[in-house]
Amino acid sequence: MSRIRPKDGPAACVRSRMPRYDLLALDLDGTLLGIGATLSQRNIAAVRRARDAGMRVVVCTGRGLVECRKYLDAIGQTDPVIVAGGAITADPATGATIHRFAMAPALVAEVSDELLGAGHAVLVLKDASAAGYDYLVLTGAGEVRPDPVTLWWFEKMGVRVKYAARLADDDDPGHTIRVGMCADAAESEAMARVLRGCVGDRAILHSFKAVVGPEVTGIDERTVHILEAFDARAGKWAALERLAGEWGIAPDRVAAIGDEVNDVCMIRGAGLGVAMGNAIPAVRDAADRVTGDHDADGVADAIEKILEGAW
């Protein structure tokens, strides 16, 4: 059951031209984007109406900046964006990093060693505005190949990638903001358990289904998961609360919409947390409201209710 917070009394139900929220935080995959990572015209129009009503709109996504560029352009994004699961806040116009939660080199090394030791290529995400590229892929002495889904994603997104056998070959050790891997769900979840035992509360760990279909995996039954490790301070809500504070916006004036494990913190922290109809149970449990599915313009429905004053 999702939680319903008490609102401001009977008057809060009256329709108003002024929304009760000043900031709208939107996840991308599984939220603003429909099946096949499509962006509907109805959702685009709803985002623009939210801006016209005076709301700041902040995209909060697990993708890196380059991986969401076309969607930011489609919605005319000008406010800062929170990318890489909250590790970076960036200017969408220039690509410059406004703020980041970098991982300590020792933590990067520990996570990388565990993943390589288990036979997984390590995906080291960089602060691209500082490092000049997006990913460092560690292959180990045996030159472990990344999962085919990873290679497909790199090509599709046009990311800048460097390869190295060891972390010692990393020319930019201070610019790492995430370390991860891509593999079958069972392998990813097994590694998540191993890492939790190693790093404890020194890192945030997320494991979730990759945004990919059988036309890429080649096997209908194959479920591919992404495992990601971040600095313990990182997260979408940590980045969002910091940004809102700079704008003088209190947490109870923030509305957030999402569907996955990396959205739970912002759904719980926002004044209005909205779960997508396709959201995982943890997001629904943290939410105040539930909207429609991502393939049925659930974001547009939620924005309409917010602007009407129904939510």
pLDDT of residue 2: 40
Please report, as a single letter, which amino acid is at residue 46: A
Length of the chain: 311
Q: Quick check: is 1 in a domain?
A: no
pLDDT of residue 17: 60
What are the two backbone dihedrals, phi and then psi, of residue 216, each rounded to the nearest 5 degrees? Answer: -100, -45
User: Do 227 and 242 fall within a single domain?
Assistant: no
Confidence at 8, pLDDT banded by 50, 70, 90? very low
User: Do 47 and 132 fall within a single domain?
Assistant: no
User: Do 219 and 272 fall within a single domain?
Assistant: no
Helix, strand, or coil here: 211?
coil
Please report, as a single letter, which amino acid is at residue 187: E
pLDDT of residue 219: 55
User: Do 141 and 221 fall within a single domain?
Assistant: yes
Confidence at 171, pLDDT banded by 50, 70, 90? confident
Pick the more confident residue, 194 or 4: 194
User: Do 169 and 240 fall within a single domain?
Assistant: no
Across 27-42, average pLDDT: 96
The string of pLDDT tens digits covering residues 133-145 is 999 999 998 889 9
Q: Quick check: is 5 in a domain?
A: no
Tokens of 167: 């972390």
Q: How many domains does the chain have?
A: 2
Nearest Cα to 188, choosing from 150, 141, 228, 144? 228
User: Do 117 and 48 fall within a single domain?
Assistant: no
Q: Quick check: is 205 in a domain?
A: yes
Pick the more confident residue, 5 or 138: 138
Answer whether 98's CB lies under 8 Å from 90's CB.
yes
CATH of the domain at 157: 3.30.1240.10
pLDDT of residue 142: 81
CATH of the domain at 260: 3.40.50.1000
Which domain-ending residue is among 231, 261, 283? 231
Nearest Cα to 154, choosing from 63, 89, 87? 63
User: Do 216 and 294 fall within a single domain?
Assistant: no
User: Do 79 and 96 fall within a single domain?
Assistant: yes
Q: Quick check: is 2 in a domain?
A: no
What are the two backbone dihedrals, phi and then psi, of residue 192, each rounded to the nearest 5 degrees? Answer: -60, -40
Q: Quick check: is 304 in a domain?
A: yes
CA distance 201 to 197: 10
Nearest Cα to 26, choosing from 71, 61, 68? 61
Average pLDDT value for the chain: 91
User: Do 123 and 268 fall within a single domain?
Assistant: no
Q: Quick check: is 265 in a domain?
A: yes
Which domain-ending residue is among 197, 212, 231? 231
Q: Quick check: is 34 in a domain?
A: yes
Residue 220 has pLDDT above 80, yes or no: no
CA distance 84 to 64: 5
Across 229-250, average pLDDT: 97
Nearest Cα to 180, choosing from 201, 197, 200, 195? 195
Parent domain of 51: 10-100+235-308
Q: Quick check: is 142 in a domain?
A: yes
Which domain-ending residue is among 231, 259, 284? 231
Sheet containing 272-275, strands listed edge to edge, beginning at the edge strand earlier in sequence:
56-59, 23-26, 254-258, 272-275, 289-290
User: Do 95 and 241 fall within a single domain?
Assistant: yes
CB atoms within 10 A of CB 213: 10
User: Do 239 and 96 fall within a single domain?
Assistant: yes
Pick the more confident residue, 213 or 146: 146
CA distance 140 to 28: 33
Percentage of the chain surpassing pLDDT 70? 91
The string of pLDDT tens digits covering residues 58-102 is 999 999 999 999 999 999 999 999 999 999 999 999 999 999 999
Answer whether 64's CB lies under 8 Å from 180's CB.
no
Tell me the pTM. Answer: 0.90
User: Do 166 and 65 fall within a single domain?
Assistant: no
